[in-house]
Structure 1
Amino acid sequence: MTRMSRMLRRLAILSVLLTCSAVAQAAAAGAPWVELAGRRIPVELADTPESRAQGLMYRDRLAPGHGMLFIHDRQEPLAYWMKNTRIALDILYFDSARRLVSQQRGAEPCRNPRACPIYPSDAPARYVLELNAGEAAALGLQDGMELRFGPGIPND
């Protein structure tokens, strides 16, 4: 292999690496996020009946500092359960004004699918944010705090 062909090969590899890096950064920049207690949290959206039903079932982990935002069609009393969910979660309920109205911290995976505990909201809610167990305490969350939406999350 000549010196020129080695240099061209290295340039091609560098070009591919830079392109991959740019694509990854663009994907990360476009990923939906919410802000709560001054912290930006990347989220996966569950905004259809199917995605809300699936939620975090069958997942072995949720990346630290990440969450799943469930968007319901209207504000009403809500209740979640942990059937087929393998990780402990903090379940945070927000009303239509995106104010924290209820918290279920440290909800454990359901060990007996015939008797899964139900984690209800204490007040009508429209949005539910699930985080890894312990993150609500680490953020110092208190009822009444506001959830802010980043770009790409419907604000209706």
Structure 2
Amino acid sequence: MTDRTETATAATTATPTATATTTATDGPTYDRETVSVENGSRTLATIEVRIADTYEKRYTGLSDTESLDSGEGMLFVHDEEGRHAYVMRKMDFPLDILFVDANGTITTIHHAPVPPEGTSGNELERYRGTGKYVLEVPMGYANETGIEVGDRLVIPNGTA
């Protein structure tokens, strides 16, 4: 979930893929895409993501989701590359939060546990990074698949 901060501009990485639409529980409707993470010519992971490309979708994020399976996630798409802060607002499960620049390079990876019960919005830890995209996957997924800062997220045409 985003805490909304945006600056700078840039282009995007792209490969064609089909789009389907799904709805999170009582939340906004999300398009779905398949993205991959590569290290050179080697594919480290293929992830089925929900696309959060509006303020409402970025704000809600995964808070209406009970869990994610391995290989599932959410891709937050910002209008411009910049510094962003994400929080674990109303989350039921921990996440890996990956910040990705406009060219698809992973710039930062955070491992974010669920906040202690009763944590207020002002007390939530802010996970900060620079990018146009933020990819959230189940906590531990980056380590399990060998995803590291400097690897490349391949995003389908038309997603950004």
Tell me if TM exceeds 0.5. yes
Query: Partner of 1:89 in structure 2?
Result: 95
Distance in 1 (CA, whole Å) between partners of 2:151 and 2:120 is 33
Aligned AA (1:109): V
Distance in 1 (CA, whole Å) between partners of 2:149 and 2:59 is 26
Equivalence map 1:115-126=2 (5 Å): 115-121=123-129, 124-126=130-132
Aligned AA (2:133): Y
Query: Partner of 2:120 in structure 1?
Result: 113
Pair 1:150-2:156 in alignment: yes
Greater length-normalized contact order (CA 8 Å, ≥ 6 residues apart)? 2
Aligned AA (1:108): P
The alpha-carbon distance between structure 1 residues 73 and 65, as it changes in their structure 2 partners (threshold 3 A), is same
Distance in 1 (CA, whole Å) between partners of 2:66 and 2:138 is 11
Query: Partner of 2:7 in structure 1?
Result: none
Equivalence map 1:52-91=2 (5 Å): 52-91=58-97
Which structure: greater helix fraction?
Answer: 1
The alpha-carbon distance between structure 1 residues 95 and 151, as it changes in their structure 2 partners (threshold 3 A), is closer
Distance in 1 (CA, whole Å) between partners of 2:158 and 2:50 is 11
TM normalised by structure 2 equals: 0.72
Kindly indicate whether the alpha-carbon contact (under 8 Å) linking 1:59 and 1:87 is maintained by their aligned counterparts in 2.
no
SS in 1 for 2:152: coil
Pair 1:131-2:132 in alignment: no
Residue ranges of structure 2 left out of the alignment (5+ in a row) = 1-18, 22-30
SS in 2 for 1:143: coil
Deviations 1:73-122 (A, max 9, x none): 001111100011111000000011110000102x012221241111111x
**Percent of paired sites with the same residue:** 31
Distance in 1 (CA, whole Å) between partners of 2:103 and 2:20 is 29
Residue ranges of structure 1 left out of the alignment (5+ in a row) = 1-25
Figure out how many residues of one structure are paired with residues of the other and give that number. 125
The structure 1 segments of at least 4 consecutive aligned residues displaced by more than 4 Å after TM superposition are none
Distance in 1 (CA, whole Å) between partners of 2:95 and 2:70 is 11
Following TM superposition, by how much is the alpha carbon of 1:27 offset from its aligned partner in structure 2, in angstroms?
5.4
Which structure: greater strand fraction?
Answer: 2
TM normalised by structure 1 equals: 0.73
